[in-house]
Amino acid sequence: MSQIFGNVLDMTWQMAAMWAIGAVMIYLAIRKEMEPTLLLPMGFGCILCNLPHSGAVEVLETLFQAGVANELFPLLLFIGIGAMIDFGPLLADPKLLLFGAAAQFGIFFTLSMASLLGFELRDAASIAIIGAADGPTSIFVANTLKSQYTAAIIVAAYSYMALVPIVQPFCIRLVTTKKERMIRMDYTPGEISRTTRILFPIVVTVIAGLVAPDSVALVGFLMFGNLLRECGVLRALSEAAQNILANLISLLLGLTVAVRMQADSFLVPETLMILALGLVAFMFDTFGGVFFGKLINLFAKKKVNPMIGAAGISAFPMSSRVIAKMAKEEDPYNFILMQAAGANVAGQVASVIAGGLVLALVGPMI
């Protein structure tokens, strides 16, 4: 009995605050269905690791070193993501790759801002990758650069992925007119041969390896997952990667990351700054894609709906669905889902290449 009272007395307000953060994550996962496969285990793990003298901390720390610190979990998760992606809309309209590139603007803008605010270069670069709205890439970059704010970066990255339906519509309406949001786009799907679908992941891996060698692990695992999907002879492995592997790794990742959410190291002023800078990165990635679409419309005969540029971030497939829904709200007969999906998968590729470029630029300087 005395031990129980001792544990209660050892409680701090910081621990209670972390319980509240964990409860909010669980609420968003269950009631709002925002990234439940990650936010639910992360929220529960946050509470678990902030119990006084929690015996789970040592176990999860071992798991963190075995699966996160060496980038194993993020890379395995990329296989599952790659197996889920259909690159057909992108292959049918390759110019959508440009939207994926334009929507990475926020990464480099935020890197400069974070540096000006006093963060070390390794930390500033890791924070900036939050803008890609790609959790595995954020984990990979933060771990590779040995950022001291890995937990806050991961929480911010996945939180903003979950908040895509809230943040992106606000950003888009801020910089577009109703007339622009009502622009219709013709979609004429071309015949994409099986050979093209098989060669695409291989060619992208080779090009990424030559242009940005530090991104080849990320791109390679993503494209290997897609090759499992498209080869046609490994259907069981493809389905396992999409379902069992992706779900299992997400579960382990959420619980494991929570070990870095202990009150004494998480509740610091820098965490709030990281959350704010992550939001800036995410918003400016959205702005970058939209403004690129508006730029194209200055010269193109066939206008594009600039909203598809916002789908150039890496929150696949949520962002493309949000954009398609916004278009239908403005005009019930405006169907731009396929164009948005093409920009979205382009953003998935562009975000991992951007992560590799950040590593290549920052790595030699630290």
pLDDT the model gives residue 288: 93
Quick one: which of 128, 112, 121 has its CA closest to 145? 121
Distance CA 3, CA 172 (A): 55
pLDDT the model gives residue 4: 52
Structure tokens at 50: 């902030």
Query: In 3-state terms, what secondary structure has residue 16?
Result: helix
pLDDT the model gives residue 5: 53
Quick one: which of 256, 244, 276 has its CA closest to 110? 276
Distance CA 317, CA 275 (A): 23
pLDDT the model gives residue 166: 85
CA 85 → CA 79, 336, 344, distances in Å?
10, 18, 10
Distance CA 258, CA 42 (A): 6
How would residue 230 be classed by pLDDT, with cut points 50, 70 and 90? Answer: very high
Q: If you write DSSP's letter for every residue of 10-65 in order, what string do you get?
A: T--HHHHHHHHHHHHHHHHHHTS-SSHHHHHHHHHHHHHTTSTT-THHHHHHHHHH
Q: How many CA atoms are closer than 13 Å to the CA of 297, on its beta-carbon side?
A: 20
pLDDT the model gives residue 29: 86
- Classify burial at 331, counting beta carbons within 10 Å of its beta carbon; exposed 0-12, middle 13-18, buried 19 or more: middle
Residue 162 pLDDT > 60, yes or no? yes
pLDDT the model gives residue 225: 95
Average pLDDT, the chain: 87
Residue 129 pLDDT > 70, yes or no? yes
Distance CA 193, CA 82 (A): 19
**Which amino acid appears at position 25 of this protein?**
M
How would residue 268 be classed by pLDDT, with cut points 50, 70 and 90? Answer: confident
CB-based contact 154:147 (threshold 8 Å): no
How would residue 56 be classed by pLDDT, with cut points 50, 70 and 90? Answer: confident
Mean pLDDT of 105-128: 90
